[in-house]
């Protein structure tokens, strides 16, 4: 088969390498200049993905285009390519809006009968400040649109909203005219996601459940990042999926969406509270799921282009993924001039099973050596799988400790809170009991 990756920063590096190692032809086109060192010397690069369309077309049903991002009209572009007969996996214009237009997504979820937190949209800092002054409370601040990073969002803690008011005031000079953002009532509970692959007609089954660790430092301290690690499983997901993400299927079908869709939620005794969508392959989510998927990537991607909803093969148990980063993460080389080309040392005696659990991110090859690359410092994801979270976590960290990269950082506590039965400051409440009525 032939695969063409159309990407801004090459987040799916490990997926392209898996496809190539399985004997498929792979080319990637990376739009961001500072990211073009990723997969250099490892996978063929193309300066313009449009030049490769004839190459993909010549493969017929065995040619697939993979899109990674939800920005700059890429969803609408994918829709038009599908109309021309290309097999495209990634998203859609509708998926872009679900992810980027937060107020729209919350209203859609409410219309589908899901319980949603109070949500208010603003395009004026002054109006938002006046709103909090008149309605004091704890709020979550989130910006709409593709131009904002996870670190731009803030989870309020002060009961009168004074912290969010102060953050808005501090950021006001940099918030452009017409920038849209929402204030959402903060809801306490267990943060939990549900995701599945959509084939243009329906979701492939099974769905996955995931528990992300978004803050930079151990103990949930520091900046909100894209993600520092995740616990995931395909087990016992049916009931939760049917109560949540499955309800969106008719809308995705109407808009021809093809790709992965994840719905992040807060779960507590009162219900399931959806927070936001990811309508594309998530990083590092796709890498965390990789070792749990018995169906190979090429077959799975082909299934998504055929619109014949079916089950794919998975392994039981849990996967724990740990993200290894290097500077300038959690920022980018557009803001911080950090070294690139740091050597990546992997032990020579890694077993095939160990190598299966190492998922390269922003890594290339130079002078015959693996080196760091890219815009952010998302260097790699290391996973472990086992029947229990604790065993999977131990396997992941055993592999992490054998990798050496200068200035490497990672969290030491991925999965610990789930194992200990603590979430959102509620000691002793196990994640299973918190979710029991919804699983």
What is the per-residue pLDDT across 111-161, written as a single tens digit (0 to 9) for each? 999 999 999 999 999 999 999 999 999 999 999 877 777 778 899 999 999
Residue 423 has pLDDT above 50, yes or no: no
Residue 434 has pLDDT above 70, yes or no: no
How much is the pLDDT for 424? 37
Q: What is the CA radius of gyration of the chain?
A: 21
Contacts of 231 (CB under 8 A, 6+ apart): 210, 211, 318, 319, 320, 321, 389, 392, 393, 414, 415, 418
How much is the pLDDT for 309? 64
The pLDDT confidence band at residue 71, using thresholds 50, 70 and 90, is confident
Check if the beta carbon of residue 224 is closer than 8 Å to that of residue 151: yes
Q: What is the pTM of this model?
A: 0.93
Check if the beta carbon of residue 167 is closer than 8 Å to that of residue 141: yes
How much is the pLDDT for 282? 83
How much is the pLDDT for 150? 74
**Model confidence pLDDT, tens digit, residues 314-347:** 999 999 999 999 999 999 999 999 999 999 999 9
Lowest mean pLDDT among 219-223, 249-253, 376-380, 409-413: 219-223
How much is the pLDDT for 201? 95
Region 38-58: mean pLDDT is 98
The pLDDT confidence band at residue 426, using thresholds 50, 70 and 90, is very low
Q: Give me the chain's average pLDDT, please.
A: 93
Beta bridge partners of 26: 3
How much is the pLDDT for 437? 65
């Amino acid at each position: 088969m032939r695969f063409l990756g159309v990407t801004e920063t090459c987040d799916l590096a490990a997926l392209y390498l898996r496809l190539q190692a399985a004997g498929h032809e792979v080319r990637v086109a990376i739009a961001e200049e500072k990211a073009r060192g990723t997969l250099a010397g490892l996978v063929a690069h193309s300066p313009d993905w449009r030049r490769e369309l004839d190459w993909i077309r010549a493969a017929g049903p065995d040619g697939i285009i993979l899109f990674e991002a939800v920005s700059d009209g890429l969803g609408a572009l994918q829709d038009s390519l599908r109309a021309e007969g290309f097999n495209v996996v990634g998203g859609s214009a509708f998926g872009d809006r679900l992810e980027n237009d937060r107020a729209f997504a919350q209203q859609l979820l409410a219309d589908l009968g899901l319980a949603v937190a109070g949500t208010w949209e603003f395009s004026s800092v002054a109006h938002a400040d006046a709103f909090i002054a008149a309605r004091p409370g704890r709020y979550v601040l989130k910006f709409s649109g593709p131009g904002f990073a996870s670190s731009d969002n803030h989870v309020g803690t002060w009961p009168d909203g004074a912290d969010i008011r102060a953050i808005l005031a501090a950021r006001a000079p940099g918030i452009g005219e017409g920038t849209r953002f929402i204030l959402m009532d903060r809801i306490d509970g267990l943060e939990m996601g549900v995701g599945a692959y959509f084939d243009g007609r329906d979701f492939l089954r099974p769905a996955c459940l995931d528990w992300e660790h978004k803050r930079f430092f151990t103990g949930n301290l520091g900046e909100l990042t894209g993600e520092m690690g995740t616990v995931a499983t395909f087990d016992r997901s049916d009931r939760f999926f049917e109560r949540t993400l499955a309800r969106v299927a008719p809308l995705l079908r109407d808009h021809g969406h093809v790709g992965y869709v994840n719905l992040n939620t807060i779960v507590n005794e009162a219900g399931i509270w959806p927070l936001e969508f990811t309508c594309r392959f998530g990083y590092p989510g796709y890498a965390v799921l990789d070792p749990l998927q018995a169906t190979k990537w090429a077959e799975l991607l082909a299934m998504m282009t055929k619109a014949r909803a079916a089950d794919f093969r998975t392994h039981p148990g849990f996967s724990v993924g740990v993200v290894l980063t290097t500077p300038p993460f959690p920022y980018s080389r557009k803001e911080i001039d950090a070294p690139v080309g740091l050597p990546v040392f992997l032990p020579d005696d890694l077993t095939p099973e160990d190598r299966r659990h190492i998922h390269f991110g922003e890594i290339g090859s130079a002078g015959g050596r693996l080196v760091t690359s890219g815009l952010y410092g998302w260097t790699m994801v290391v996973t472990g799988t086992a029947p229990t979270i604790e065993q999977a976590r131990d396997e992941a960290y055993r592999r992490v400790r054998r990798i050496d990269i200068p200035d490497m950082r990672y969290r030491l506590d991925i999965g610990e809170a789930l194992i200990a039965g603590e979430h959102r400051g509620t000691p002793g409440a196990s994640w299973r009991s918190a979710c029991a009525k919804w699983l």
